Amino acid sequence: MMKIKSRGMNADARKWLTLFILTFLCGLIYVYLSNDESIRPIPDVDSLNPQQVELGGFLFNDVRLSKGAQLSCASCHSMTMGGADAQVVSTGVDRRKGNINSPSVFNSSLNFRQFWDGRAANLMEQVDGPIANPKEMDFSWEQAIEILKKDSFYVEMFKSAYTDGLTILNMRKAIVSFEESLLTPNSRFDLYLKGDETAISQRELEGYHLFKQYGCISCHQGVAVGGNLFRPFGVHGDYFKDRGDITEADYGRFAVTQKEIDRFVFKVPSLRNIELTAPYFHDGSQETLLAAVNIMMKYQLGRVPKENSSLLIVGFLKTLTGQYQGKSLKKKGQ
């Protein structure tokens, strides 16, 4: 036991000082233990207003929010494609090719910012983007609300979901509510984190240890296993020079801040449900998870992976596939 220099101190003061030091040490141990796992399980969906979520779901799937009623949010963020579209880059109205890969809308409410370059602070800000983007829906809220006002189904639904009924603000809010409902809890890895040691295999556990040992976790961490940091793509070596054909979509946060230091800096993407959302990276350049992991090893960590380390990590990543509406997520055709 620690001896406290206590000359001139009365017994009471000594007792209190000892108690204080003990409490402080316990606090330190607690903080240390609770930080042991820097990946945390996805919580169950918050108590959202079910009517607003349902309404948002209808809007999310409604092509009338786009020019010429050609596509909906779900065209590029399909629930049967891991919340993305399985394309290298997305295709907007009039078959206009976009310049960047579609990220998943599952768990997007957990991201600290939205878009690859983080230009939207939250989902409410984000939702204006695709409506107006000429390479996506090429429309406006004003045009969309005029169409919905003639549809008694929507007018009635909005009336019962929001006191002020059908407004542009409420259309945006409803879509965001729907997006907030798209959490995917209960992946096998989350069950493991919650104490079920049989939820993942020995090899998958080994993959998790490698994920930590190689340092993937320094960027992909927290509840979304990503989505909470900005980092350069190409920490070790020049990914973009090696790939060639640099476009503006590769500039990352530079497009937002115009600061040279932000060139090629991206939001670290979430790795939740990652097995379902090939092709990978903002440029959609990698078709397999193994290839993506090897690129990370090279350009983010400057490492040549040992033997089957990358394969084991891929095994671990596949345990991050969660459930939506009580069912394990799958990709169409799987």
Site string for ligand HEC, 294-333 (x = CB under 6 A): --xx--xx-----------x--------------------
Cα–Cα distance measured from residue 86 to residue 287, given in angstroms and rounded to the nearest whole number: 10
Measured from the CB atom, is 41 or 215 closer to ligand HEC? 215
Tell me if 274 contacts ligand HEC by CB under 6 A.
yes
Strand partners, 280: 286
Compute CA distances 144 → 22, 62, 81, 260, 291, whole Å.
63, 10, 26, 39, 41
Tell me if 225 contacts ligand HEC by CB under 6 A.
no
Dig out the tokens for 234 from the structure.
């190409």
Tell me if 257 contacts ligand HEC by CB under 6 A.
no
Provide, rounded to whole angstroms, the least separation between the CB of residue 92 and ligand HEC.
4
248 noted as active-site residue = no
Tell me if 175 contacts ligand HEC by CB under 6 A.
yes
Cα–Cα distance measured from residue 302 to residue 312, given in angstroms and rounded to the nearest whole number: 18
Residue type, 147: I
Out of 106, 115, 158, 251, the only residue in the binding site for ligand HEC (CB under 6 A) is 115
Tell me if 266 contacts ligand HEC by CB under 6 A.
yes
Rg of the chain in Å (alpha carbons): 24
Out of 114, 170, 181, 273, the only residue in the binding site for ligand HEC (CB under 6 A) is 114
Strand partners, 327: 324
Dig out the tokens for 272 from the structure.
């939740």
CB atoms closer than 10 angstroms to residue 325: 10
Tell me if 220 contacts ligand HEC by CB under 6 A.
yes
Dig out the tokens for 117 from the structure.
């370059």
Tell me if 231 contacts ligand HEC by CB under 6 A.
yes
Segment (H or E) for 57: helix 50-60
The residues binding ligand HEC (CB under 6 A) are 71, 73, 75-77, 90, 92, 98, 100, 102-103, 105, 108, 111, 114-116, 123, 126-127, 130-131, 136-137, 175, 214-216, 218-220, 231, 233, 235, 266, 268-269, 271, 274, 277, 280-282, 292-293, 296-297, 300-301, 313
Residues catalogued as catalytic: 136
